[in-house]
Amino acid sequence: MPKVRKSAPTSDTPGRVRRGGGVMSSTGLYIATGVAAFLFLVPFYIIVRNALSTDAEITGENWKIFPTDIQWGNIGELFSDETVPFAQSLWNSAVVATLHTVGVLLVCSLAGYGLARIPYKHANKVFYAVLGTLMVPTAVTFVPSFVLVSSLGWVDTYRGLIIPGLFSGFTCFLFRQYFLGFPKELEEAARMDGLGYWGAYWRVVVPNSLNFFAAMATITFINGWNAFLWPLVIGQDPSSWTVQVALSSYMTNQTVVFHLIFMATAVSILPLVFVFLFLQRWLVQGIAQTGIKG
């Protein structure tokens, strides 16, 4: 993706005319970026450092950069701590985020494809009905949604945690934008060969769109894993807490056990950081091509 461009040859100051304009020398550029990068990494270091320290070392008068001896036992202590069902909450988050991702991709990609590609005279009206929901941020509807879900008896259930979040107008919109740009020739060839819309979609469009699906899957999974307001509202019993709700409960607890809090934070972040580092390229491309560019 990064294309290293040659600087404009017509310029009489070679190398100065670069995109974004250059008021900075190369050294200055790296110093500024380096300082910013350092600041961005500090919070990550704090989590790891505190997760592997004793409480005394976290709250001690003389803050050392490295803990004097590393407390690997904190991991075991976290999972055997009975005040917060942390292992259960991790499992809940894994289930919820995974099913959320599968469901959103399935439902929203189908709808996006229908809106983008299947000729139907009222398709525009349907599209505006979807677009209209983008203006009402999902978080604003949490009161009415809670009222609905609780009257369905879905409080404290996986159903309540997952199903209401599947119908994302925004994801549907992104899929539609993507499918509009998908080369039509491929589908037409498939349909000439006798495939219906369904066959063309599953056998031609989806297999050729795996990059985009992967990017959307990553983003959706991260959002599912990190969601807080809805799981907080729905998860009233600790056994149905997601990991974010469990983390939050540490902050409002009477007794603050610092090393457990930071270990829990580290454990909650680690899976996503790995996902991020491995899938970065896809993610960046995916975000860049979602059509947010406008």
Partner 1 sequence: MSTTTKLDLASSAPAKASSAKPRRGLRGSPTFAFWLFTGPFLIGLAIFVYAPILWSLWLSFFEARFTVTPDKFVGFDNYKYMLTNDDFVGSLGTFTVFAAFIVPTTWALSLGLALLVNRMRFMRAFFRSVFFLPTAVSYVAAALIWKMSIFSGVRFGLMNTVLGWFGVENIAWLIDPNPPWYWLVIVTARLWLQSGFYMILFIAALQNIPEELYEAAAIDGAKSGWQTFWYITLPQLRATSTAVILLLLIAAYQAFDEFFNLLSKTTWGRPPLVELYYKALGESQDYGAGSAGALILTVLICAVTLLQGKIMGFGRGDESK
Considering beta carbons, is residue 87 or 166 the nearer one to partner 1?
166
In this structure, what token pair is assigned to residue 248? 């939050």
- In the chain, the amino acid numbered 202 is W
Give which of 222, 249, 248, 270 is closest to 48, Cα–Cα.
270
Q: How far is the CB of 90 from partner 1 (least distance, A)?
A: 13
Q: How far is the CB of 8 from partner 1 (least distance, A)?
A: 4
HEC readout, 63-93: CCCCCCCCCCHHHHHHHHCCCCCHHHHHHHH
Give which of 187, 172, 182, 175 is closest to 126, Cα–Cα.
172
Q: With beta carbons less than 8 A apart as the criterion, state whether 267 and 225 touch.
A: no
- Is 213 a binding residue for partner 1 by CB under 8 A? The answer is no
Residues 294, 288: Cα–Cα separation, whole Å: 11
Task: Return the residue of 71, 98, 157, 226 that touches partner 1, per CB under 8 A.
Answer: 226
Stretch of 43-51, 67-75, 77-85, 205-213 lying at the interface with partner 1 (CB under 8 A):
43-51
Site for partner 1 in 9-28 (CB under 8 A): 10-11, 13, 16-24, 26
In this structure, what token pair is assigned to residue 69? 């001896």
- Is 186 a binding residue for partner 1 by CB under 8 A? The answer is no
Compute how many residues bind partner 1; rule: CB under 8 A: 127
Site for partner 1 in 138-167 (CB under 8 A): 138-148, 150-151, 163-164, 166-167
- Is 211 a binding residue for partner 1 by CB under 8 A? The answer is no
Residues 202, 102: Cα–Cα separation, whole Å: 15
- Is 41 a binding residue for partner 1 by CB under 8 A? The answer is yes
Task: Return the residue of 66, 120, 202, 278 that touches partner 1, per CB under 8 A.
Answer: 120
- Is 251 a binding residue for partner 1 by CB under 8 A? The answer is yes
Give which of 96, 85, 107 is closest to 161, Cα–Cα.
96
Q: What SS3 state is found at 60? A: coil
- Is 272 a binding residue for partner 1 by CB under 8 A? The answer is yes
- Is 29 a binding residue for partner 1 by CB under 8 A? The answer is yes
- Is 256 a binding residue for partner 1 by CB under 8 A? The answer is yes
- Is 92 a binding residue for partner 1 by CB under 8 A? The answer is no
Residues 109, 241: Cα–Cα separation, whole Å: 29
Matching residue, tokens 């909650």: 268
Stretch of 1-9, 64-72, 74-82, 204-212 lying at the interface with partner 1 (CB under 8 A):
1-9
Task: Return the residue of 68, 252, 254, 255 that touches partner 1, per CB under 8 A.
Answer: 252
